[in-house]
Amino acid sequence: DGTLHPTGKIGRFGPGTGIRDTQMGCPKVRWVPHRVSPIGKDIHTDCTPPEGNPRKLRIPGEDLPHVLTRLTDPALYSGQDIVVVGGGDSAIEVAAALADRNRVTMAVRTPEFIRAKDALERHALELATKKELTIHFNAIVESIDPTFVTLKLSSSTIKVRAGVVIVKIGALPPRRFLENCGVKFAGPEPLGVPVLGAGYDTNIPGLFVVGAASGRGDLIKHAVNQGYEVVEQMCGRAVEPVDEAP
């Protein structure tokens, strides 16, 4: 019906696998994968969106209407003061996309970019060198107000003007959902990742986990590229991992 609903567990519905919705009061198929005819096997890929459960800053003002967790269209923003919270790939991509037409500040909790790809890190630092992007490392967001963000730095506390705040600090993995499917995890930690083989395969035959839920990349392109790798491998074709390629 075009409406997103929380999903329950994966179960078989004839050929292929669907997602059985156990939380809406009746079982429904939300997604049925395609059969890969060359080898006659079904591919069951977890496509639950982790973005639906973003991590929280747990600070005052986090629920204000100008605080967002995703950037839908950079063209919607021009001449604005924007603070991007986070230091990973997605945070850098958001900041870079907005920097040419806005005054953008990044608040990075760590002393440097530690999770970003080299190319993205270089791009962000180049923008900062050209004064097109402001980056505060060792920055802890203490509170968010309607017109500014309070950052605690190593030796001071500052207020940064912000008409828009975009928080990109990752999302909580859908652990309970995956465990309900029978997927094993490496440990009991709430933010732990599932045990996966080199080809994103779980301990459940034919069930693969890609993208942010796998712990191997938090961008949409990671999920798309990894899903492509799974299909190619299932079809018996060698494929070079796109995201790890130089």
Quick: pLDDT tens for 139-196.
999 999 999 999 999 999 999 999 999 999 987 778 888 899 999 998 888 778 899 9
Half-sphere exposure of 20 (CA within 13 A, CB side): 13
Residues 11-45 have pLDDT tens digits of 443 444 444 444 433 333 333 343 333 334 444 44
Q: Please answer whether residues 81 and 163 qualify as being in contact, where contact means their C-beta atoms are separated by less than 8 angstroms.
A: yes
CA distance 224 to 229: 9
Of 29-33, 39-43, 76-80, 113-117, the least confident: 29-33
Global confidence as pTM: 0.67
* 3-state secondary structure (DSSP) of residue 97: helix
Half-sphere exposure of 62 (CA within 13 A, CB side): 13
Q: Please answer whether residues 102 and 78 qualify as being in contact, where contact means their C-beta atoms are separated by less than 8 angstroms.
A: yes
For residue 50, pLDDT beyond 90: no
Q: Which strands sit side by side in the sheet containing 103-107, from one edge to the other?
A: 67-68, 164-167, 81-85, 103-107, 134-136
Give the model's pLDDT for residue 246: 37
Confidence of residue 243 (pLDDT cuts 50, 70, 90): low
Average pLDDT of span 98-113:
97
Name the nearest CA neighbour of 184 among 192, 145, 222: 192
Residues 182-228 have pLDDT tens digits of 999 988 887 788 999 989 999 999 899 988 788 777 677 888 899 89
Q: Please answer whether residues 87 and 114 qualify as being in contact, where contact means their C-beta atoms are separated by less than 8 angstroms.
A: yes
Beta strand pairing call for 67-68 and 164-167: parallel
* 3-state secondary structure (DSSP) of residue 135: strand
DSSP letters of 27-88?
A: --B---PPEETTTTEE-EEE---GGGSBPP--STTTTSTTEES--S-GGG--S-EEEEE--S
